[in-house]
A and B are shown apart, each in its own frame.
Chain A
Amino acid sequence: MVRKTAIIASGAAVAVVVAVAVLFLLQSTPTRPAEPIRIGLVVPLSSPGAYTQGEEIKQGAEIAVEEVNAKGGIRGRQIVLYVEDSQGLPEKGRAVVEKLITRDSVHAIVGEYHSAVAMAEIEVINRYGIPMVLASTWADALREKEYAPVFNVSPYNAGNADHIVKFLMHIGATTVIMLNEDTDYGVGLAKAMQDAIRRLNAPIRFSSETVERTSKDFTPVLLKYKTTPPDILVTAVTPPGGFLLWKQAYEVGLAPTAKTLLYDASGSFQRYTEMWPAVGKGGQYMAGFAPYAPHMKLTETGKKVVETFKQKYGREPTYLVMQGYDAMKAMLTAIQTADSTEPGKIIQALREISFEGTRGTIKFSKERGVYFQQWKEIPVLSLQYTQVDQSIAQATILFPVEYATGRLARPPSS
């Protein structure tokens, strides 16, 4: 009996000691911080890439990250950005994406501006099955590959071409010359324009020529069209080449004139702070394609992004800031919805999510081909500067009709 009591007593003593030790350990061990969510951001940040555009995408993406981190992150996990420079080179893009996945162990990747670079990057993305949201890559070939981990919030050539052709029909243009850059985006847009003209049965005589993106002098090709000027000269060349092209089109007297309208299909003409000093009077009466304008209908999210950007950088954002923000927000929303950083779960969530972006509700299409996992309904506009030194907010919205703030203006006949 005594022995039994002794066993019970010593057992109880051991239990008490263990309980105290456990309590002590629990109290003395510091709480481990939640593991951060690692997101790779790949954009061109140095030559020969379009570093201005890359920087703007980065600025937009950073706003989205700061917004989430300020609210305590996703389920207490902060977002950490791993920024890599793709330099506008496919081989470099491929290498940095590989590095982000294998060395930095990122959970997801966002970004890119050059379609040709994205073409190389998505091969790596598809091999590792890591989710990626492309910010501003317009080539349809990217979506036609139908890679499961790749999503796109960007304007896209097929959609843009549809918009431009409808605009050309709206203004009654019948002869159209397009000068496009020698990239996947430029060549792809020329092809998409031909397809759209056929699909929409547009009464337009269209021809295109490919020019070098890095060219400094476009006068020979511009002079070629001076003897028989078209109704509209459409350019798909990103700056600085684009700026030089517009400046020289004006200098040789080809466009904009009373006969020939000048139209930018690259979205670059809205970079008015750089455009006006470079192009000068050549920019007056110039029209162009824009996925964003400050006076277009923005969502509450869009208005907030504009305000934050203005406070941070003291100027109006361009569409690329919006693209960067929307791409990053799509990824963060998917991670939150999936409640996981597992690639498969994020990809599944990306397929299903529907959230408020800067210019509308973003959801990814399940259609195949050029619309595969694309934000299909991304709004696009055609605008026109009617005075020198106008800001994009002062430009007239010409098309679609429901957004229009004015009618097409032409230079007086000389």
Chain B
Amino acid sequence: MSPVEFLNYFFLQLVYGLSLGLLYGLMAVGLSLIFGVTKMINFAHGEIYMLGGYTYFFTITLVGLSPVLAMLSSALVGILIGVMMERYVFRPAYNMQQQARDEYAIIATFGLSILLQNLALFWFGTAIRTPPPIFDAKLTFGLLELFGDRVAAIVISSTILITLYLYVAKSWTGAALRAVSQNMNAASILGISKTKMNALSLAVGGGLAALAGALLSNVLLVYPDMGVIPTLKAFVIIVLGGMGSIFGSLVGGLLLGVVEALGSTFVSVAYRDVYGFIVLILVLLLKPNGLFGELARRI
């Protein structure tokens, strides 16, 4: 391979890695937001993503909605699930104060994940489903060829991630979310309702997961356990980027996507997951709180 060919090839891999990383980031950002505010891990996040995919598929194929309305329906379903989870799973755990709260959250959300997967299997069957394409065209940029659905997923994901970042960084509600994330008791003293912020984080996180499911349903298909692997990747990303950091999730997602792409190409595809974990271990050795995580202490 000539140096020019090699550079072209490297560039191709980089672009595909970044595009995949962006999609990973979209999945991880909701999970990170929920953890940042509630300090509890939601193992059922992947199943909200899955239900978002199914909602998108059925609202298009059965109800006949346009892709935009179908995506909004998916987001709405995700928000509703998030709110219900806050009310019936997270709030009881929160009221337990320090007494085995984390263990409760892990067991409850893990159980919910298995329940939702099996309900999906029961309701929707075992078939792998694919909604009609959002944008049925092939775009060519020199050597780079991208299909419409992937381009749509990249553009919409970027827009959502930037909007969310600005919302959390600039708005009053975003400041309240960050305040609860940094110090819940101090935030309460200042009049911020932790219950409302918890509900908001679950609603936004759930909405984002479902939207990701809808957006990626054409690219990565819809089936009952479609959320398992993305959730695992999302956990790697939020630890990599710093737990609770939205910007960290985005950077972590991009980093994971690129590392996986380049590692698979230049070393071996058989160890694809290993590359992400090697980077994770290295980052944790050098920065134990992740790339953009902050030192925190629970009071």
Interface set of A (CB-CB < 8 Å, partner B)? 46-48, 51-52, 55, 182, 209-212, 214-217, 219-221, 223-224, 227, 239-240, 243-244, 251-253, 273-274, 277-278, 280
Contacts and interface: CB of A to CB of B under 8 A. Distances in A.
A239 B221 CA distance: 10
B268 interface: yes
Nearest to A242: B128
4 cross-chain pairs, A with B, having the tightest CB-CB distances, nearest first: A47-B225, A52-B126, A277-B130, A220-B264
Contact of A217 (B20, B131, B133): B20
B270 A182 contact: yes
A51 B121 CA distance: 9
Given A52-B126, A217-B16, 17 more contacts: A47-B121, A47-B224, A47-B225, A55-B126, A211-B269, A212-B269, A217-B260, A221-B264, A223-B9, A227-B5, A227-B9, A243-B128, A251-B145, A251-B146, A274-B127, A277-B132, A280-B133
Contacts of A217: 16, 20, 260
B296 interface: no
Contacts of B260: 217, 220
Contact of A214 (B150, B229, B261): B229
A212 B272 contact: yes
> Which of B126, B132, B229, B270 is the most central at the interface, judged by chain A CB atoms within 10 Å of its CB?
B126
A278 B217 CA distance: 10
B270 A216 contact: no
A55 B223 CA distance: 15
Interface string B123-158: 000111111110000100000011100100000000
A216 B127 contact: no
12 contacts: A46-B118, A47-B224, A47-B228, A212-B269, A212-B273, A216-B229, A220-B262, A221-B265, A221-B269, A240-B223, A251-B145, A274-B129
A48 B231 CA distance: 14
B147 A251 contact: yes
A210 B272 CA distance: 10
A185 to B, nearest CB: 15
A186 B40 CA distance: 39
A223 B221 CA distance: 21
A223 B220 CA distance: 18
A60 to B, nearest CB: 15
B12 interface: yes
Given A46-B118, A251-B147, A223 B126 contact: no
B269 A209 contact: yes
Interface string B97-130: 0000000000000000000011001000011111
Contacts of B9: 223, 227
Nearest to A53: B126
A335 B159 CA distance: 64
Contacts of A223: 9, 12-13, 16, 265
B228 A216 contact: no
Given A46-B118, A219-B16, A227-B9, A244 B261 contact: no
Contacts of A278: 128, 130, 221
A240 B273 CA distance: 18
A250 to B, nearest CB: 9
B270 A211 contact: yes
A382 B140 CA distance: 33
B288 interface: no
Contacts of B145: 251-253
B261 to A, nearest CB: 4
Contact of B121 (A46, A240, A244): A46
B127 A219 contact: no
B13 A51 contact: no
B67 to A, nearest CB: 15
B269 A220 contact: yes
Nearest to B263: A220
B1 interface: yes
B146, B150, B223, most chain A CB atoms within 10 A: B223
B265 A244 contact: no
B268 A216 contact: no
B150 A251 contact: yes
Nearest to A278: B130
A186 B173 CA distance: 51
B267 to A, nearest CB: 11
A224 B49 CA distance: 31
B174 interface: no
Nearest to A55: B126
Contact of A48 (B1, B126, B220, B228): B228
Nearest to B17: A220
B23 to A, nearest CB: 9
A88 B63 CA distance: 34
Nearest to A49: B225
Contacts of A227: 1, 5, 9
Contact of B128 (A47, A240, A252): A240
Nearest to A187: B270
Given A209-B268, A209-B270, A212-B273, A48 B225 contact: yes
Contacts of A220: 13, 16-17, 260-262, 264-265, 269
A224 to B, nearest CB: 5
Contacts of A46: 117-118, 121
Contacts of A211: 269-270, 272
A273 B130 CA distance: 11
B70 to A, nearest CB: 15
A220 B268 CA distance: 10
Nearest to A210: B270
A209 B12 CA distance: 20
A46 B273 CA distance: 23
B42 to A, nearest CB: 19
Contacts of B16: 217, 219-220, 223
Contacts of B220: 216, 244
A193 B272 CA distance: 24
A277 B145 CA distance: 21
Given A55-B126, A211-B270, A280-B133, A219 B261 contact: yes
B64 to A, nearest CB: 16
A253 B269 CA distance: 19
Contacts of A252: 145
Interface in B15-30: 16-17, 20
